[in-house]
Amino acid sequence: MANSSSDTSRKNVIELNDNKAGMTGIDKARISQIIEEASRGSKFYQRQQAKRQADAKRAEETRRKIDALSREALQAGERAGDAEIRRAVSAADFSRTHVHIDMDAFYAAVEMLDNPRLRHVPMAVGGNDMLSTSNYAARRFGVRAAMPGFIAKKLCPQLVIVPCRFRRYKEVSRQVQAVLADYDPQFSAASLDEAYLDITDHLANRQAINLLPGPKATSVAELRYRVFISSSLTASAGIGPNPMVAKIGSDFNKPNGQYRVAGSSDRVLEFIRQLPVRKVPGIGRVTEAWLNSLGVSTCRDLYEQRGALYHACRPLTYQFYMRACLGLSGGFGYGRNGPDRKSVSVERTFQATDSLTWLLDEKLPELCESLVRHLTKSGFLGRTVTIKLKLDTFEVLTRSHGLPSATDSVQAIQSAAAALLRQEFLPGRPAPRIRLLGVRVSSLTPRKAVIADCSSGVGSAGPKQARLDELLVRSTKTIAETSTKTNTTAAVCSSSSNETVSKSSTPVTSSTSENASKFNLVESTSVETKTSASSASESALSCPICSASQPGGLAGLNRHLDFCLSRSAIQTAVNDYSNDGSACFTPGSNSASSRKRIEAASSSGRPAGGSASGGGKRARIAADGRTGVGTI
């Protein structure tokens, strides 16, 4: 019977992912068959079919590569794995107490809290296109997050679907996080409904004043009780010597439970070895299938097959697997705001639309404001803006743009993202129907480092101060030169459209596999976005930053945006430094008069605040702290 069920599952293009609390013991084969029949012929089905074929082909290629390896090559891989394991073990710290808090069916729980009639019926949050979560009653029917609502209705005809209310979820999340901050002020919120804490110092402080309420598990139970008192919602918890083990543990006794793994290498190894690889955070369906094709189904198998994996994976992926088989998390989870953080991102799924106006006016501002809140909280500035698009065909595309300087300005990030989004709606080609929009900022720089760089040059002619001042002088000089060429005394923004396009402004498109991309198991292809030559000469467009009309259509607007974003980023830095009390310079208090100085300088062909030949000189710092350049 088990074999029959397994065979049926393998034949299905779309399978139920039952790796979710509350789905233990359900008839996976029957539910997968219902999902298959309900999906067949849809765009989602066609996309999944193509992905399944590509995944199978890649797995077969890897299998052939490994089969061709000599015994010596496999032994060399095993030695490399052993060396990696020794390094990981020597750096491991089992002395700390980490906790992963996971709210139980959070969105659904909030809806049931506000509407008690939903508590005893199968219900889900989302829409007919996609569900965000479901309550435990619905999970017994196979209904879960990331499932289209129309398929969920096939599994559970009596299912009640309510729309998302993110404002309400954020409000409740803040109540929960206020409690968590009492146990770890530096906790890391992975999302609205989960967080990582290191409560080692909290436990030590309580012990020092004889307020330790008993074992560590009792302290976490107290935390969960306080969360319930504050929000009227339950939370599950995992306790372990590192964030990865804690996260896995939080899923063991859901809902409203907790699980602890003792802080010793032997106990962690005993806990992790028998787990399916899918339980490891970061290993999704595609990676699981790829590993299964290599004979790897448990974490113990990761170690047993280390020789073959060495030749099948990239170095960072191999390092991850070797640490995972030991139950060591590396930089996973807690410490996401550390110097090794690569990016900050947000995304939203919605009913498929081809309305550029709605995306630009409604969805993009919401995403960018949320992104900047996360960026500010994490203490970073970013230089590369990327938008993620999932089409109604379920194809995933990305577009990237490099900014002239790092920023956390909503205006700068939103303007760059808007320009990238507009590229997908060029005249003369069908408008895409988009069902998911995401915004990511990468190439991160710690804000403190930027402020320190600026502060170190105050009152001196040091190279760091000189570089920033020279940037301002060059910007003003360019304005003056452009103004002279066009014989106009227009404002700064409207004269900048003759600037050369930055090399980084070319959007890049890549198709991604959502689950496997972080392990670099699926190659992505990049192609240049084709821009119609005719569109470049179309009617003038307004700059979203300065509102000035820019000739040359989208091409002209893009050229102008590079300069305008540069100015916006500089202004943000100026304001931030000033507010911190460690300013390198402060813009003039009278912006109108400062603007006039710039325009007057532009008319005379020289930078404001400098001599006629002052292009190579440092920007003048006035005695009252204002720059000779004026307001930028």
The string of pLDDT tens digits covering residues 208-242 is 877 666 678 889 999 999 999 999 999 999 999 99
- CA dist 209 and 223 (Å) reads 19
Confidence of residue 270 (pLDDT cuts 50, 70, 90): very high
- CA dist 164 and 108 (Å) reads 9
Residue pLDDT, tens place only, 82-95: 999 999 999 999 99
Q: Is the pLDDT of residue 469 over 50?
A: no
Q: Determine the pLDDT at residue 571.
A: 57
- Which distant-in-sequence residues (6+ apart) come within 8 Å of 131 by Cβ? 124, 125, 143, 144, 145, 146, 147, 148, 149, 152, 161
Residue pLDDT, tens place only, 306-324: 999 999 999 999 999 999 9
pLDDT (average), residues 267-290: 93
Confidence of residue 456 (pLDDT cuts 50, 70, 90): low
Write the single-letter amino acid at 462: G
Low-confidence winner among 248-252, 279-283, 525-529 (lowest mean pLDDT)? 525-529
Q: Determine the pLDDT at residue 447.
A: 83
Q: What is the CATH number of domain 343-616?
A: 3.30.1490.100
> In this structure, what token pair is assigned to residue 287?
């990676």
Q: Which residue has the higher pLDDT, 493 or 143?
A: 143
* CB neighbour burial string for 446-473, b if at least 16 within 10 angstroms, e if fewer: bbeebbebbbebeeeeeebbeebbbbbb
ω before 243 within 30° of 0 (cis)?
no
- CA dist 238 and 375 (Å) reads 27
pTM (whole model) above 0.85? no
pLDDT (average), residues 121-125: 96
pLDDT (average), residues 48-72: 91
Q: Determine the pLDDT at residue 338.
A: 56
Query: What's the burial of 93, exposed, middle or buried (CB within 10 Å: 0-12/13-18/19+)?
Result: exposed
Q: Determine the pLDDT at residue 575.
A: 55
> In this structure, what token pair is assigned to residue 174?
């803040």
Write the single-letter amino acid at 135: N
pLDDT (average), residues 555-568: 66
CATH 3.30.70.270 residue ranges of the chain are 98-121+158-263
Q: Is the pLDDT of residue 248 over 90?
A: yes
Tell me the CATH architecture of domain 98-121+158-263.
2-Layer Sandwich (3.30)
pLDDT (average), residues 82-109: 95
Q: Is the pLDDT of residue 582 over 50?
A: no
CATH 3.30.1490.100 residue ranges of the chain are 343-616
pLDDT (average), residues 363-372: 94
Q: Determine the pLDDT at residue 567.
A: 58
Write the single-letter amino acid at 310: Y
